Structure 1
Amino acid sequence: MRPKPHQPFNSKLLLLPLLVVFFLLFVLKSNLSTVKDIQETPNAASLPSHSVNTPNCSPSCNKIPVSLSQTLIHYSTSTITPQQTLKEISVSARVLEKKSPCNFLVFGLGHDSLMWSALNHGGRTVFLEEDEAWMEQIRRRFPTVESYHVRYDSKVKEAENLMEVGRGEECTAVGDPRYSICQLALKGLPSVVYETEWDLIMVDAPTGYYQDAPGRMSAIYTAGMMSRNRESGETHVFVHDVNREVEDTFSKAFLCECFMKKQEGRLRHFTIPSFKHHPHLLHGPFCPPPPPPS
Protein backbone atom coordinates (compact mmCIF):
# COMPACT_ATOMS: atom_id res chain seq x y z
CA MET A 1 0.00 0.00 0.00
CA ARG A 2 2.90 2.40 0.62
CA PRO A 3 4.67 2.83 -2.70
CA LYS A 4 8.38 2.74 -3.35
CA PRO A 5 9.87 6.09 -4.38
CA HIS A 6 9.30 6.90 -8.02
CA GLN A 7 8.98 9.94 -10.26
CA PRO A 8 6.06 11.94 -8.86
CA PHE A 9 5.24 13.86 -12.06
CA ASN A 10 3.80 11.00 -14.13
CA SER A 11 1.89 9.43 -11.23
CA LYS A 12 0.36 12.72 -10.30
CA LEU A 13 -0.78 13.38 -13.87
CA LEU A 14 -2.45 9.97 -13.92
CA LEU A 15 -4.25 10.30 -10.59
CA LEU A 16 -5.48 13.88 -10.65
CA PRO A 17 -7.78 13.48 -13.70
CA LEU A 18 -9.51 10.56 -11.96
CA LEU A 19 -10.13 12.59 -8.81
CA VAL A 20 -11.34 15.58 -10.81
CA VAL A 21 -13.78 13.38 -12.78
CA PHE A 22 -15.29 11.93 -9.61
CA PHE A 23 -15.47 15.40 -8.06
CA LEU A 24 -17.34 16.74 -11.09
CA LEU A 25 -19.68 13.73 -11.07
CA PHE A 26 -20.43 14.34 -7.41
CA VAL A 27 -21.15 18.04 -7.95
CA LEU A 28 -23.25 17.30 -11.05
CA LYS A 29 -25.29 14.71 -9.16
CA SER A 30 -25.89 17.16 -6.30
CA ASN A 31 -26.98 19.91 -8.68
CA LEU A 32 -29.33 17.61 -10.60
CA SER A 33 -30.92 16.48 -7.35
CA THR A 34 -31.42 20.10 -6.32
CA VAL A 35 -33.04 20.99 -9.66
CA LYS A 36 -35.35 17.98 -9.41
CA ASP A 37 -36.42 18.93 -5.91
CA ILE A 38 -37.16 22.50 -7.01
CA GLN A 39 -39.19 21.32 -9.99
CA GLU A 40 -41.27 19.03 -7.76
CA THR A 41 -41.98 21.78 -5.20
CA PRO A 42 -45.66 22.88 -5.47
CA ASN A 43 -46.04 26.24 -7.26
CA ALA A 44 -42.28 26.56 -7.43
CA ALA A 45 -42.50 28.48 -10.67
CA SER A 46 -44.59 31.20 -9.03
CA LEU A 47 -42.28 31.70 -6.08
CA PRO A 48 -39.40 34.16 -5.98
CA SER A 49 -36.07 32.44 -6.47
CA HIS A 50 -34.99 33.23 -2.94
CA SER A 51 -38.14 31.56 -1.54
CA VAL A 52 -37.65 28.12 -3.12
CA ASN A 53 -36.32 25.65 -0.58
CA THR A 54 -35.55 21.98 -1.19
CA PRO A 55 -36.86 19.53 1.43
CA ASN A 56 -34.46 18.71 4.27
CA CYS A 57 -31.79 20.91 2.73
CA SER A 58 -29.64 23.32 4.69
CA PRO A 59 -28.13 26.44 3.11
CA SER A 60 -24.84 24.51 2.85
CA CYS A 61 -26.21 21.35 1.21
CA ASN A 62 -24.46 22.05 -2.09
CA LYS A 63 -21.02 22.31 -0.51
CA ILE A 64 -18.72 19.38 -1.02
CA PRO A 65 -18.10 17.39 2.20
CA VAL A 66 -14.99 18.08 4.24
CA SER A 67 -13.68 14.57 3.51
CA LEU A 68 -13.78 15.22 -0.25
CA SER A 69 -12.21 18.65 -0.05
CA GLN A 70 -9.47 17.26 2.21
CA THR A 71 -8.81 14.51 -0.32
CA LEU A 72 -8.60 16.91 -3.27
CA ILE A 73 -6.23 19.21 -1.40
CA HIS A 74 -4.06 16.31 -0.23
CA TYR A 75 -3.53 14.80 -3.68
CA SER A 76 -3.18 18.19 -5.37
CA THR A 77 -0.33 19.17 -3.05
CA SER A 78 1.35 15.79 -2.43
CA THR A 79 4.30 14.44 -4.41
CA ILE A 80 3.49 10.91 -3.20
CA THR A 81 0.66 9.20 -5.06
CA PRO A 82 -0.89 5.70 -4.91
CA GLN A 83 1.07 2.70 -6.10
CA GLN A 84 -1.70 1.37 -8.31
CA THR A 85 -1.82 2.63 -11.87
CA LEU A 86 -4.70 4.66 -13.27
CA LYS A 87 -6.03 1.61 -15.16
CA GLU A 88 -5.84 -0.55 -12.01
CA ILE A 89 -7.58 2.06 -9.86
CA SER A 90 -10.27 2.50 -12.51
CA VAL A 91 -11.39 -1.14 -12.14
CA SER A 92 -12.29 -0.67 -8.47
CA ALA A 93 -13.52 2.89 -9.03
CA ARG A 94 -16.09 1.72 -11.60
CA VAL A 95 -17.49 -0.79 -9.10
CA LEU A 96 -17.56 1.86 -6.37
CA GLU A 97 -19.39 4.23 -8.70
CA LYS A 98 -22.23 1.69 -8.91
CA LYS A 99 -22.14 0.39 -5.33
CA SER A 100 -21.36 3.40 -3.15
CA PRO A 101 -22.31 4.26 -0.53
CA CYS A 102 -21.40 0.76 0.61
CA ASN A 103 -19.24 -1.27 2.99
CA PHE A 104 -15.64 -1.38 1.78
CA LEU A 105 -12.90 -3.34 3.59
CA VAL A 106 -9.27 -2.66 2.66
CA PHE A 107 -6.30 -4.75 3.77
CA GLY A 108 -3.62 -2.09 3.98
CA LEU A 109 -3.40 1.59 4.86
CA GLY A 110 -1.44 3.65 2.39
CA HIS A 111 -1.19 6.80 0.32
CA ASP A 112 -4.35 5.78 -1.55
CA SER A 113 -6.54 5.46 1.56
CA LEU A 114 -8.03 8.96 1.36
CA MET A 115 -8.93 8.29 -2.25
CA TRP A 116 -10.81 5.05 -1.44
CA SER A 117 -12.68 6.75 1.41
CA ALA A 118 -13.66 9.65 -0.85
CA LEU A 119 -14.82 7.37 -3.67
CA ASN A 120 -17.04 5.58 -1.13
CA HIS A 121 -18.44 8.84 0.24
CA GLY A 122 -21.36 8.20 2.58
CA GLY A 123 -20.40 4.54 3.04
CA ARG A 124 -18.13 2.83 5.54
CA THR A 125 -14.52 2.25 4.52
CA VAL A 126 -12.35 0.31 6.98
CA PHE A 127 -8.59 -0.20 6.70
CA LEU A 128 -6.56 -3.00 8.33
CA GLU A 129 -2.88 -2.16 8.84
CA GLU A 130 0.08 -4.24 10.09
CA ASP A 131 2.40 -1.31 10.90
CA GLU A 132 1.04 0.29 14.07
CA ALA A 133 3.39 3.30 13.98
CA TRP A 134 2.39 4.08 10.40
CA MET A 135 -1.29 3.72 11.27
CA GLU A 136 -0.98 6.19 14.15
CA GLN A 137 0.78 8.64 11.85
CA ILE A 138 -2.10 8.49 9.36
CA ARG A 139 -4.65 8.78 12.16
CA ARG A 140 -3.07 12.00 13.37
CA ARG A 141 -3.07 13.51 9.89
CA PHE A 142 -6.49 12.21 8.80
CA PRO A 143 -8.65 11.42 11.85
CA THR A 144 -11.71 10.63 9.72
CA VAL A 145 -10.03 7.53 8.24
CA GLU A 146 -11.19 4.41 10.12
CA SER A 147 -8.31 1.99 10.63
CA TYR A 148 -7.38 -0.93 12.89
CA HIS A 149 -4.07 -2.58 13.73
CA VAL A 150 -3.75 -6.24 12.71
CA ARG A 151 -1.07 -8.84 13.46
CA TYR A 152 -0.24 -11.63 11.02
CA ASP A 153 1.41 -14.88 12.09
CA SER A 154 2.25 -16.25 8.64
CA LYS A 155 5.35 -15.78 6.47
CA VAL A 156 5.78 -15.85 2.70
CA LYS A 157 8.20 -18.78 2.98
CA GLU A 158 5.33 -20.86 4.43
CA ALA A 159 3.09 -20.30 1.40
CA GLU A 160 3.60 -23.72 -0.19
CA ASN A 161 2.69 -25.51 3.04
CA LEU A 162 -0.30 -23.23 3.63
CA MET A 163 -1.58 -24.01 0.15
CA GLU A 164 -1.62 -27.70 1.06
CA VAL A 165 -3.38 -26.90 4.34
CA GLY A 166 -5.99 -24.90 2.44
CA ARG A 167 -7.07 -27.96 0.47
CA GLY A 168 -8.19 -29.75 3.65
CA GLU A 169 -11.83 -30.12 4.70
CA GLU A 170 -11.39 -27.72 7.61
CA CYS A 171 -10.49 -24.97 5.13
CA THR A 172 -12.98 -25.69 2.36
CA ALA A 173 -16.03 -25.76 4.66
CA VAL A 174 -17.88 -22.44 4.42
CA GLY A 175 -18.31 -20.62 7.73
CA ASP A 176 -17.38 -17.63 9.87
CA PRO A 177 -13.56 -17.27 9.74
CA ARG A 178 -13.27 -16.34 13.42
CA TYR A 179 -14.62 -19.76 14.43
CA SER A 180 -12.75 -21.72 11.77
CA ILE A 181 -10.09 -24.31 12.65
CA CYS A 182 -8.37 -23.64 9.32
CA GLN A 183 -4.82 -22.37 9.80
CA LEU A 184 -5.35 -19.84 7.00
CA ALA A 185 -8.32 -18.10 8.62
CA LEU A 186 -7.66 -14.77 10.32
CA LYS A 187 -9.36 -15.07 13.71
CA GLY A 188 -8.05 -12.01 15.57
CA LEU A 189 -9.47 -9.22 13.45
CA PRO A 190 -11.65 -6.49 15.02
CA SER A 191 -15.24 -7.62 15.56
CA VAL A 192 -16.53 -5.07 13.04
CA VAL A 193 -14.78 -7.02 10.28
CA TYR A 194 -16.76 -10.21 10.99
CA GLU A 195 -20.05 -8.52 11.82
CA THR A 196 -20.27 -6.46 8.61
CA GLU A 197 -21.27 -7.78 5.21
CA TRP A 198 -18.70 -6.20 2.91
CA ASP A 199 -19.70 -5.17 -0.59
CA LEU A 200 -16.08 -4.66 -1.64
CA ILE A 201 -12.83 -6.06 -0.25
CA MET A 202 -9.41 -4.89 -1.42
CA VAL A 203 -6.39 -7.07 -0.58
CA ASP A 204 -3.34 -4.83 -0.97
CA ALA A 205 -1.56 -5.89 2.24
CA PRO A 206 0.16 -7.13 4.30
CA THR A 207 3.74 -6.93 3.05
CA GLY A 208 4.62 -9.78 0.75
CA TYR A 209 7.76 -9.08 -1.27
CA TYR A 210 10.35 -10.99 0.82
CA GLN A 211 10.45 -14.43 2.43
CA ASP A 212 10.03 -13.38 6.07
CA ALA A 213 7.20 -10.93 5.29
CA PRO A 214 3.69 -11.93 6.47
CA GLY A 215 2.39 -12.40 2.94
CA ARG A 216 -1.22 -12.20 1.77
CA MET A 217 -2.12 -15.89 2.00
CA SER A 218 -4.45 -15.51 5.00
CA ALA A 219 -5.87 -12.17 3.85
CA ILE A 220 -6.89 -13.63 0.49
CA TYR A 221 -8.35 -16.78 2.06
CA THR A 222 -10.29 -14.82 4.70
CA ALA A 223 -11.64 -12.37 2.12
CA GLY A 224 -12.93 -15.30 0.09
CA MET A 225 -14.48 -17.01 3.10
CA MET A 226 -16.24 -13.86 4.34
CA SER A 227 -17.66 -13.39 0.84
CA ARG A 228 -18.99 -16.96 0.74
CA ASN A 229 -20.38 -16.73 4.27
CA ARG A 230 -22.53 -13.60 3.78
CA GLU A 231 -26.30 -14.08 3.96
CA SER A 232 -27.08 -12.93 0.42
CA GLY A 233 -25.77 -10.92 -2.48
CA GLU A 234 -22.21 -10.88 -3.77
CA THR A 235 -18.86 -9.41 -2.81
CA HIS A 236 -16.39 -7.76 -5.15
CA VAL A 237 -12.87 -8.79 -4.13
CA PHE A 238 -9.77 -7.11 -5.58
CA VAL A 239 -6.25 -8.49 -5.17
CA HIS A 240 -3.26 -6.32 -6.03
CA ASP A 241 0.26 -7.48 -7.01
CA VAL A 242 -0.92 -10.67 -8.74
CA ASN A 243 2.37 -10.60 -10.65
CA ARG A 244 3.83 -12.23 -7.51
CA GLU A 245 3.50 -15.97 -6.95
CA VAL A 246 1.57 -15.86 -3.67
CA GLU A 247 -1.02 -13.35 -4.86
CA ASP A 248 -1.37 -15.21 -8.17
CA THR A 249 -1.78 -18.76 -6.84
CA PHE A 250 -3.78 -17.98 -3.70
CA SER A 251 -6.27 -15.72 -5.47
CA LYS A 252 -6.92 -18.41 -8.10
CA ALA A 253 -7.24 -21.12 -5.45
CA PHE A 254 -9.37 -19.38 -2.81
CA LEU A 255 -11.25 -16.72 -4.78
CA CYS A 256 -11.63 -19.11 -7.73
CA GLU A 257 -10.86 -18.49 -11.37
CA CYS A 258 -14.51 -19.09 -12.28
CA PHE A 259 -15.42 -15.99 -10.21
CA MET A 260 -12.76 -13.78 -11.82
CA LYS A 261 -14.27 -10.89 -13.78
CA LYS A 262 -11.23 -8.98 -14.95
CA GLN A 263 -7.50 -8.53 -14.65
CA GLU A 264 -5.92 -5.16 -15.32
CA GLY A 265 -2.17 -4.98 -14.90
CA ARG A 266 -1.38 -6.31 -11.41
CA LEU A 267 -4.99 -6.08 -10.19
CA ARG A 268 -7.46 -8.96 -10.27
CA HIS A 269 -11.21 -8.52 -9.76
CA PHE A 270 -13.43 -11.36 -8.48
CA THR A 271 -17.18 -11.36 -7.84
CA ILE A 272 -18.02 -13.99 -5.24
CA PRO A 273 -21.66 -14.94 -4.55
CA SER A 274 -23.10 -15.86 -1.17
CA PHE A 275 -22.86 -19.63 -0.88
CA LYS A 276 -25.61 -19.58 1.78
CA HIS A 277 -27.97 -18.04 -0.74
CA HIS A 278 -27.07 -20.71 -3.32
CA PRO A 279 -27.30 -24.18 -1.71
CA HIS A 280 -25.84 -25.86 -4.78
CA LEU A 281 -22.65 -23.87 -4.15
CA LEU A 282 -22.68 -24.49 -0.40
CA HIS A 283 -22.73 -28.26 -0.86
CA GLY A 284 -20.59 -28.34 -3.97
CA PRO A 285 -16.84 -28.05 -4.53
CA PHE A 286 -14.95 -25.11 -3.03
CA CYS A 287 -14.43 -23.70 -6.52
CA PRO A 288 -17.29 -24.54 -8.89
CA PRO A 289 -16.26 -25.69 -12.35
CA PRO A 290 -16.09 -22.99 -15.01
CA PRO A 291 -19.19 -22.59 -17.18
CA PRO A 292 -19.13 -24.44 -20.51
CA PRO A 293 -18.02 -22.37 -23.51
CA SER A 294 -20.91 -20.71 -25.33
Structure 2
Amino acid sequence: MRPKPQGPLNIKLLILGVTLAFLLLFILRSNLSSSSDQSTSQTVRSRDSDCSSSCTKLPSSLSHALIHYTTSSITPQQTQKEISVSAKVLQQKSPCNFLVFGLGHDSLMWSALNYGGRTVFLEEDESWIQQIKRRFPMLDSYHVVYDSKVNQADTLMEMAKGEECTSIGDARHSMCQLALKGLPKEVYETKWDVIMVDAPTGYYDEAPGRMTAIYTAGMIARNREDGDTDVFVHDVNREVEDKFSKAFLCEGYMKKQEGRLRHFNIPSHRDGSERPFCPN
Protein backbone atom coordinates (compact mmCIF):
# COMPACT_ATOMS: atom_id res chain seq x y z
CA MET A 1 0.00 0.00 0.00
CA ARG A 2 1.16 3.54 -0.73
CA PRO A 3 1.59 5.85 2.31
CA LYS A 4 -1.03 8.56 2.77
CA PRO A 5 0.02 12.07 1.61
CA GLN A 6 1.12 14.44 4.39
CA GLY A 7 -0.06 18.02 4.80
CA PRO A 8 2.16 21.12 4.27
CA LEU A 9 2.59 21.65 8.02
CA ASN A 10 4.02 18.16 8.57
CA ILE A 11 6.51 18.67 5.73
CA LYS A 12 7.73 21.98 7.21
CA LEU A 13 8.20 20.37 10.63
CA LEU A 14 10.17 17.53 9.08
CA ILE A 15 12.50 19.92 7.25
CA LEU A 16 13.02 21.95 10.44
CA GLY A 17 13.81 18.81 12.45
CA VAL A 18 16.39 17.59 9.93
CA THR A 19 18.03 21.02 9.81
CA LEU A 20 18.33 21.18 13.62
CA ALA A 21 19.79 17.68 13.70
CA PHE A 22 22.53 18.59 11.18
CA LEU A 23 23.28 21.79 13.09
CA LEU A 24 23.65 19.89 16.37
CA LEU A 25 25.93 17.33 14.72
CA PHE A 26 28.12 20.10 13.27
CA ILE A 27 28.53 21.75 16.69
CA LEU A 28 29.45 18.46 18.37
CA ARG A 29 32.02 17.61 15.70
CA SER A 30 33.60 21.05 15.99
CA ASN A 31 34.01 20.68 19.77
CA LEU A 32 35.46 17.19 19.54
CA SER A 33 37.81 17.68 16.59
CA SER A 34 40.38 19.81 18.41
CA SER A 35 40.72 17.38 21.32
CA SER A 36 40.92 14.28 19.14
CA ASP A 37 43.35 15.45 16.43
CA GLN A 38 46.42 14.41 18.35
CA SER A 39 45.15 10.97 19.37
CA THR A 40 43.86 10.35 15.84
CA SER A 41 47.23 11.07 14.25
CA GLN A 42 48.90 8.71 16.70
CA THR A 43 46.34 5.98 15.95
CA VAL A 44 46.82 6.40 12.20
CA ARG A 45 50.59 6.11 12.52
CA SER A 46 50.25 2.98 14.64
CA ARG A 47 47.73 1.45 12.25
CA ASP A 48 49.94 2.20 9.25
CA SER A 49 52.90 0.46 10.85
CA ASP A 50 50.79 -2.60 11.73
CA CYS A 51 49.07 -2.83 8.35
CA SER A 52 52.34 -2.59 6.48
CA SER A 53 53.03 -6.17 7.52
CA SER A 54 49.64 -7.78 7.94
CA CYS A 55 46.61 -5.82 6.71
CA THR A 56 47.27 -5.03 3.08
CA LYS A 57 49.66 -7.76 1.96
CA LEU A 58 48.50 -11.08 0.50
CA PRO A 59 50.38 -14.00 2.15
CA SER A 60 53.10 -15.30 -0.15
CA SER A 61 51.76 -18.88 -0.04
CA LEU A 62 48.39 -17.71 -1.35
CA SER A 63 49.89 -15.45 -4.00
CA HIS A 64 52.10 -18.33 -5.25
CA ALA A 65 49.05 -20.59 -5.51
CA LEU A 66 46.99 -17.91 -7.26
CA ILE A 67 49.68 -17.21 -9.85
CA HIS A 68 50.44 -20.89 -10.42
CA TYR A 69 46.90 -22.06 -11.03
CA THR A 70 45.90 -19.08 -13.19
CA THR A 71 48.90 -19.49 -15.49
CA SER A 72 49.32 -23.28 -15.58
CA SER A 73 47.69 -25.50 -18.19
CA ILE A 74 48.16 -28.54 -15.92
CA THR A 75 45.11 -29.25 -13.79
CA PRO A 76 45.03 -31.04 -10.39
CA GLN A 77 44.46 -34.78 -10.36
CA GLN A 78 41.07 -34.43 -8.69
CA THR A 79 37.91 -32.93 -10.18
CA GLN A 80 36.33 -29.74 -8.89
CA LYS A 81 33.53 -31.68 -7.18
CA GLU A 82 36.02 -34.03 -5.51
CA ILE A 83 38.19 -31.16 -4.32
CA SER A 84 35.16 -29.34 -2.90
CA VAL A 85 34.52 -32.20 -0.44
CA SER A 86 37.99 -31.91 1.12
CA ALA A 87 37.98 -28.12 0.85
CA LYS A 88 34.80 -27.93 2.91
CA VAL A 89 36.40 -29.95 5.72
CA LEU A 90 39.58 -27.86 5.58
CA GLN A 91 37.49 -24.69 5.75
CA GLN A 92 36.05 -25.95 9.03
CA LYS A 93 39.29 -27.31 10.53
CA SER A 94 42.07 -25.09 9.22
CA PRO A 95 44.53 -24.01 10.38
CA CYS A 96 45.20 -27.64 11.22
CA ASN A 97 47.65 -30.51 10.80
CA PHE A 98 47.17 -31.97 7.30
CA LEU A 99 49.06 -35.08 6.12
CA VAL A 100 49.03 -35.87 2.40
CA PHE A 101 50.26 -39.10 0.83
CA GLY A 102 51.47 -37.82 -2.53
CA LEU A 103 53.14 -34.73 -3.93
CA GLY A 104 51.50 -33.55 -7.14
CA HIS A 105 50.10 -30.72 -9.20
CA ASP A 106 47.51 -30.04 -6.50
CA SER A 107 49.95 -29.82 -3.57
CA LEU A 108 50.23 -26.04 -3.67
CA MET A 109 46.44 -25.86 -3.53
CA TRP A 110 46.21 -28.12 -0.47
CA SER A 111 48.84 -26.08 1.33
CA ALA A 112 47.01 -22.84 0.51
CA LEU A 113 43.64 -24.24 1.64
CA ASN A 114 45.27 -25.02 4.99
CA TYR A 115 46.76 -21.53 5.29
CA GLY A 116 48.27 -20.97 8.72
CA GLY A 117 48.35 -24.71 9.45
CA ARG A 118 50.92 -27.41 8.84
CA THR A 119 50.72 -29.45 5.62
CA VAL A 120 53.17 -32.32 5.08
CA PHE A 121 53.52 -34.35 1.87
CA LEU A 122 54.87 -37.91 1.62
CA GLU A 123 56.21 -38.81 -1.83
CA GLU A 124 57.70 -42.01 -3.31
CA ASP A 125 59.66 -40.34 -6.16
CA GLU A 126 62.74 -38.55 -4.84
CA SER A 127 63.54 -36.85 -8.16
CA TRP A 128 60.00 -35.47 -8.31
CA ILE A 129 60.43 -34.00 -4.82
CA GLN A 130 63.50 -32.12 -6.00
CA GLN A 131 61.64 -30.75 -9.02
CA ILE A 132 58.79 -29.50 -6.86
CA LYS A 133 61.16 -28.02 -4.27
CA ARG A 134 62.88 -25.94 -6.92
CA ARG A 135 59.53 -24.45 -7.95
CA PHE A 136 57.82 -24.33 -4.55
CA PRO A 137 60.41 -24.45 -1.76
CA MET A 138 57.76 -23.56 0.82
CA LEU A 139 56.15 -27.03 0.56
CA ASP A 140 57.11 -29.46 3.33
CA SER A 141 57.74 -32.89 1.78
CA TYR A 142 59.50 -36.15 2.65
CA HIS A 143 60.68 -39.11 0.60
CA VAL A 144 59.02 -42.40 1.52
CA VAL A 145 59.98 -45.93 0.40
CA TYR A 146 57.20 -48.50 -0.05
CA ASP A 147 58.04 -52.20 -0.07
CA SER A 148 54.68 -53.54 -1.27
CA LYS A 149 53.23 -54.05 -4.75
CA VAL A 150 49.73 -53.97 -6.17
CA ASN A 151 49.94 -57.65 -7.12
CA GLN A 152 50.39 -58.49 -3.41
CA ALA A 153 47.12 -56.85 -2.37
CA ASP A 154 45.10 -60.06 -1.95
CA THR A 155 47.83 -61.68 0.14
CA LEU A 156 48.12 -58.62 2.36
CA MET A 157 44.36 -58.48 2.84
CA GLU A 158 44.35 -62.09 4.07
CA MET A 159 47.26 -61.46 6.43
CA ALA A 160 45.51 -58.40 7.84
CA LYS A 161 42.73 -60.52 9.32
CA GLY A 162 44.94 -61.34 12.29
CA GLU A 163 44.66 -59.61 15.66
CA GLU A 164 48.01 -57.84 15.18
CA CYS A 165 46.41 -55.70 12.45
CA THR A 166 43.41 -54.63 14.54
CA SER A 167 45.37 -53.76 17.69
CA ILE A 168 45.45 -50.00 18.26
CA GLY A 169 48.89 -48.51 18.75
CA ASP A 170 51.80 -46.68 17.21
CA ALA A 171 52.12 -47.89 13.60
CA ARG A 172 55.92 -47.90 13.71
CA HIS A 173 55.82 -50.56 16.45
CA SER A 174 53.01 -52.60 14.91
CA MET A 175 53.44 -56.28 14.06
CA CYS A 176 51.04 -55.91 11.14
CA GLN A 177 52.73 -56.19 7.75
CA LEU A 178 50.51 -53.41 6.40
CA ALA A 179 51.85 -50.82 8.84
CA LEU A 180 54.36 -48.34 7.43
CA LYS A 181 57.27 -48.25 9.86
CA GLY A 182 59.78 -46.10 7.98
CA LEU A 183 57.96 -42.77 7.91
CA PRO A 184 59.56 -39.62 9.36
CA LYS A 185 59.34 -39.46 13.16
CA GLU A 186 57.05 -36.43 13.14
CA VAL A 187 54.42 -38.34 11.14
CA TYR A 188 53.87 -40.71 14.06
CA GLU A 189 54.10 -38.03 16.75
CA THR A 190 51.81 -35.37 15.24
CA LYS A 191 48.08 -35.30 15.91
CA TRP A 192 46.79 -35.13 12.35
CA ASP A 193 43.39 -33.52 11.83
CA VAL A 194 43.08 -34.37 8.14
CA ILE A 195 44.79 -37.08 6.05
CA MET A 196 44.64 -37.41 2.26
CA VAL A 197 45.68 -40.70 0.59
CA ASP A 198 46.37 -39.96 -3.08
CA ALA A 199 49.61 -41.95 -3.41
CA PRO A 200 51.70 -43.97 -3.97
CA THR A 201 51.30 -45.12 -7.56
CA GLY A 202 48.71 -47.85 -7.85
CA TYR A 203 47.56 -48.30 -11.43
CA TYR A 204 49.72 -51.31 -12.49
CA ASP A 205 50.74 -54.61 -10.90
CA GLU A 206 54.35 -53.73 -10.07
CA ALA A 207 53.45 -50.34 -8.59
CA PRO A 208 53.67 -49.92 -4.79
CA GLY A 209 49.91 -49.59 -4.38
CA ARG A 210 48.07 -47.81 -1.59
CA MET A 211 47.38 -50.77 0.69
CA THR A 212 49.88 -49.75 3.36
CA ALA A 213 49.14 -46.02 3.06
CA ILE A 214 45.41 -46.56 3.61
CA TYR A 215 45.96 -48.92 6.53
CA THR A 216 48.51 -46.63 8.20
CA ALA A 217 46.28 -43.57 7.76
CA GLY A 218 43.51 -45.42 9.58
CA MET A 219 45.80 -46.48 12.41
CA ILE A 220 47.20 -42.97 12.85
CA ALA A 221 43.62 -41.70 13.16
CA ARG A 222 42.61 -44.36 15.69
CA ASN A 223 45.79 -43.94 17.73
CA ARG A 224 45.33 -40.22 18.47
CA GLU A 225 44.53 -39.53 22.12
CA ASP A 226 41.23 -37.79 21.49
CA GLY A 227 39.10 -36.17 18.82
CA ASP A 228 38.61 -37.39 15.28
CA THR A 229 40.46 -37.41 11.97
CA ASP A 230 39.01 -36.82 8.52
CA VAL A 231 40.59 -39.25 6.05
CA PHE A 232 40.18 -38.99 2.27
CA VAL A 233 41.06 -41.68 -0.26
CA HIS A 234 41.25 -40.90 -3.96
CA ASP A 235 40.87 -43.31 -6.91
CA VAL A 236 38.38 -45.59 -5.14
CA ASN A 237 37.21 -46.71 -8.59
CA ARG A 238 40.23 -49.05 -8.48
CA GLU A 239 40.00 -52.39 -6.69
CA VAL A 240 42.75 -51.83 -4.11
CA GLU A 241 41.54 -48.39 -3.03
CA ASP A 242 37.95 -49.64 -2.92
CA LYS A 243 38.54 -52.78 -0.85
CA PHE A 244 41.23 -51.46 1.49
CA SER A 245 39.42 -48.21 2.32
CA LYS A 246 36.24 -50.14 3.19
CA ALA A 247 38.15 -52.70 5.27
CA PHE A 248 40.54 -50.46 7.22
CA LEU A 249 38.85 -47.04 7.23
CA CYS A 250 35.48 -48.80 7.58
CA GLU A 251 32.23 -48.32 5.72
CA GLY A 252 30.62 -47.35 9.02
CA TYR A 253 32.92 -44.33 9.24
CA MET A 254 32.34 -43.25 5.65
CA LYS A 255 30.68 -39.85 5.40
CA LYS A 256 30.50 -39.30 1.66
CA GLN A 257 31.68 -40.39 -1.76
CA GLU A 258 32.04 -37.92 -4.61
CA GLY A 259 33.28 -39.35 -7.88
CA ARG A 260 36.53 -41.20 -7.14
CA LEU A 261 36.94 -39.66 -3.66
CA ARG A 262 35.77 -41.13 -0.35
CA HIS A 263 35.58 -39.23 2.91
CA PHE A 264 35.84 -41.04 6.24
CA ASN A 265 35.64 -39.56 9.74
CA ILE A 266 37.49 -41.77 12.21
CA PRO A 267 37.23 -41.13 15.98
CA SER A 268 40.00 -41.79 18.47
CA HIS A 269 40.11 -45.36 19.78
CA ARG A 270 42.17 -44.27 22.79
CA ASP A 271 39.75 -41.78 24.34
CA GLY A 272 38.35 -44.25 26.87
CA SER A 273 35.48 -45.41 24.69
CA GLU A 274 35.40 -49.10 23.92
CA ARG A 275 35.07 -49.24 20.15
CA PRO A 276 35.46 -52.17 17.78
CA PHE A 277 37.94 -51.75 14.94
CA CYS A 278 34.99 -50.97 12.64
CA PRO A 279 31.56 -49.87 13.89
CA ASN A 280 28.79 -52.46 13.63
Please report how far the alpha carbon of residue 59 of structure 1 lies from its aligned counterpart in structure 2 after TM superposition.
1.7
The superposition leaves residues 119-165 of structure 1 with CA deviations (integer Å, 9 ceiling, x where unpaired) of: 00110000000000001110111110000000000000000011111
SS of equivalent residue, structure 1 residue 187: coil
The gaps in structure 2 that reach 5 residues or longer are: 1-35
Pairs aligned (count): 243
The superposition leaves residues 234-257 of structure 1 with CA deviations (integer Å, 9 ceiling, x where unpaired) of: 000000000000000000000001
Please report how far the alpha carbon of residue 53 of structure 1 lies from its aligned counterpart in structure 2 after TM superposition.
4.1
One of 131, 136, 144 as aligned partner of 1:137? 131
The superposition leaves residues 55-80 of structure 1 with CA deviations (integer Å, 9 ceiling, x where unpaired) of: 99342312111111011001111110
Match runs of 1:151-166 below 5 Å: 151-166=145-160
SS of equivalent residue, structure 1 residue 205: coil
One of 50, 53, 59 as aligned partner of 1:57? 50
Which protein has the larger Cα radius of gyration, Structure 1 or Structure 2? 2
* Cα distance in structure 2, aligned partners of 1:75 and 1:222: 31
Distance 1:164 1:97, change over 3 A: same
Equivalent position of 1:271 in the other structure: 265
Equivalent position of 2:40 in the other structure: 47
Equivalent position of 1:35 in the other structure: none
Q: Is 1:248 aligned to 2:242, yes or no? A: yes
Equivalent position of 2:106 in the other structure: 112
Percent identical: 70
* Cα distance in structure 1, aligned partners of 2:213 and 2:251: 17
Distance 1:255 1:55, change over 3 A: farther
Match runs of 1:1-80 below 5 Å: 47=40, 51=44, 53=46, 57-62=50-55, 63-80=57-74
* Cα distance in structure 1, aligned partners of 2:87 and 2:157: 31
Normalised to the residue count of structure 1, the TM-score between the two structures is: 0.80
Equivalent position of 1:221 in the other structure: 215
The one-letter amino acid of 2:92's match is: K
Distance 1:196 1:56, change over 3 A: farther
Equivalent position of 2:279 in the other structure: 288
Distance 1:249 1:56, change over 3 A: farther
The superposition leaves residues 15-53 of structure 1 with CA deviations (integer Å, 9 ceiling, x where unpaired) of: xxxxxxxxxxxxxxxxxxxxxxxxxxxx89x83596274
Normalised to the residue count of structure 2, the TM-score between the two structures is: 0.83
* Cα distance in structure 2, aligned partners of 1:280 and 1:260: 19
The one-letter amino acid of 2:157's match is: M
Distance 1:55 1:225, change over 3 A: farther
SS of equivalent residue, structure 2 residue 62: helix
Q: Is 1:209 aligned to 2:203, yes or no? A: yes
Q: CA RMSD in A?
A: 1.8
The one-letter amino acid of 1:121's match is: Y
Distance 1:211 1:264, change over 3 A: same
* Cα distance in structure 2, aligned partners of 1:229 and 1:56: 45
* Cα distance in structure 2, aligned partners of 1:163 and 1:279: 27
